[in-house]
Amino acid sequence: MIVCQNIKQLREQTAMWRKNDERIAFVPTMGNLHDGHLSLVEIAHQHAVRVVVSIYVNPLQFAPGEDFASYPRTLEDDLKQLQMLGVDLVFTPDTQIVYPNGDQQNTFVQVPKLSDILEGEFRPGFFTGVCTVVLKLFNMVQPDCAVFGEKDFQQLLVVRQMVNDLDLPVEIIAGAIKREADGLAMSSRNNYLNSADRATSRYLSKALAFCRQQIDRGVNVDEAEKNAVATLQKQGFIVDYVTLREAERLEKVSPADITANTELVILAAAKLGNTRLIDNVRFVKSAKS
Ligand code: PAF
């Protein structure tokens, strides 16, 4: 497995693979890898001969006061896991490499509308940071396809929109959410939870599952969302949102718009102590109700 920090070495290697007609799949990460990331690597292997993973904690997507400084950095462990999965190249640039112009970097990628709602509302600037670094990484790696996890469902849609709008020749592939035994969606930030909060955190996926069940049974959407919020608050969560959306543009759906074929998603974000968790459940309303 090649581990490289600089763009020249990365480009020389990926150019060689392209010259040999070897398809390249890319998995961008911020490291501190868990089974969720590893499942994305497995998907990457199914779509290409060569797999490149990047590990870079991108300062541009953290607002002041967020956890950039404390974000877990576990490079040695990460590399061991990636080696075991047969990854071809791990790109581990530092900020000098990614943003050599520092404060003089004046070009940012924005995907308005889709980026302004939900996560964008609670984390202003987050998607500009994500899109800017993802586009830069795409330009560095020049992959044929890239795999993003559905846990960050809005991020997946925003990246897809950027790729469509800018005609980037990269196929975006979605990887299903990986969950702990009690249902908690895997995330590097789960490590921040103390043991009491870790025990409580399981209610997030349970509240989503119950909300879905209620909507499926024809309970009024507002009421189902409010029930989920109330359940979470009772368990000690500070809830940012629990909301039903259609699963393409994340627009609100009225009951009249929901047919048996409408792809729906319930998204939630809530804090337990200082840890902000997000989760979602995607579904199509069952035909019977
Ligand atoms: O999902 C993440 O880990 C990050 O947002 C990403 C896509 C690696 C960009 O920094």
Q: What DSSP line would sit under 228-281, residue for residue?
A: HHHHHHHTT-EEEEEEEEETTT--B--GGG--TT-EEEEEEEEEETTEEEEEEE
Residues 6+ apart with CB under 8 A from 208: 228, 242, 266, 268, 279, 280, 281
pLDDT score of 256 more than 90: no
Three-class SS of residue 3?
Answer: strand
- Asked whether residue 140 falls in the same domain as residue 32, the answer is yes
Minimum CA distance residue for ligand 1 atom 3:
29
Minimum CA distance residue for ligand 1 atom 8:
29
Domain boundary, last residue among 149, 175, 201: 175
Residue 95 lies in a domain: yes
pLDDT in tens, 162-215: 999 999 999 999 999 999 999 999 999 999 999 999 999 999 999 999 999 999
Domain count, the chain: 2
Residue 258 is predicted with a pLDDT of: 83
Helix, strand, coil % over all residues of the chain, rounded to 5: 45, 20, 35
For residue 125 the two structure tokens come to 């600037």
Residue 180 lies in a domain: no
Residue 227 has φ and ψ, to the nearest 5°, of: -60, -40
Name 24's bridge partners: 50
* Shortest-distance atom of ligand 1 to CA 159: 7
- Asked whether residue 151 falls in the same domain as residue 200, the answer is no
pLDDT in tens, 58-82: 999 999 999 999 999 999 999 999 9
Provide the CATH number for the domain around residue 118.
3.40.50.620
Domain containing residue 119: 2-175
* Shortest-distance atom of ligand 1 to CA 61: 10
- Asked whether residue 88 falls in the same domain as residue 135, the answer is yes
Triad 218, 223, 225: Cα angle to 5°: 100
Residue 172's Cα: distance from chain center in Å?
12
CA of 156 to the centre of ligand 1 (A): 10
- Asked whether residue 253 falls in the same domain as residue 167, the answer is no
Q: Which of 51-55, 150-154, 243-247, 252-256 has the lowest mean pLDDT?
A: 252-256
Q: Are strands 238-246 and 145-149 parallel, antiparallel or unpaired?
A: unpaired
Provide the CATH number for the domain around residue 200.
3.30.1300.10
CA of 245 to the centre of ligand 1 (A): 23
Residues annotated as part of the active site: 37
Domain boundary, last residue among 175, 208, 227: 175
- Asked whether residue 209 falls in the same domain as residue 88, the answer is no
Minimum CA distance residue for ligand 1 atom 9:
130
Residue 287 is predicted with a pLDDT of: 64
- Asked whether residue 130 falls in the same domain as residue 213, the answer is no
CA of 29 to the centre of ligand 1 (A): 5
- Asked whether residue 124 falls in the same domain as residue 214, the answer is no
Over residues 2-30, mean pLDDT: 98
Residue 252 lies in a domain: yes
Pocket (CB within 6 angstroms of ligand 1)? 28-30, 58, 61, 130, 133-134, 152, 155
Residue 233 lies in a domain: yes
Mutate to test the pocket of ligand 1, among 141, 152, 187 (most ligand atoms within 8 A of CB): 152
CA of 192 to the centre of ligand 1 (A): 18
Residue 164 lies in a domain: yes
CA of 264 to the centre of ligand 1 (A): 24
pLDDT score of 289 more than 60: no
pLDDT in tens, 88-114: 999 999 999 999 999 898 999 999 999
* Shortest-distance atom of ligand 1 to CA 58: 10
- Asked whether residue 12 falls in the same domain as residue 74, the answer is yes
Per-residue pLDDT band for 285 (boundaries 50, 70, 90) equals: confident
- Asked whether residue 194 falls in the same domain as residue 171, the answer is no
- Asked whether residue 141 falls in the same domain as residue 217, the answer is no
Minimum CA distance residue for ligand 1 atom 5:
130
Residue 47 lies in a domain: yes
Mutate to test the pocket of ligand 1, among 40, 53, 61 (most ligand atoms within 8 A of CB): 61
Burial of 215 (0-12, 13-18, 19+ CB in 10 A): buried
Residue 237 lies in a domain: yes
- Asked whether residue 121 falls in the same domain as residue 194, the answer is no
Residue 288 is predicted with a pLDDT of: 58
Residue 288 lies in a domain: no
Domain boundary, last residue among 147, 175, 203: 175
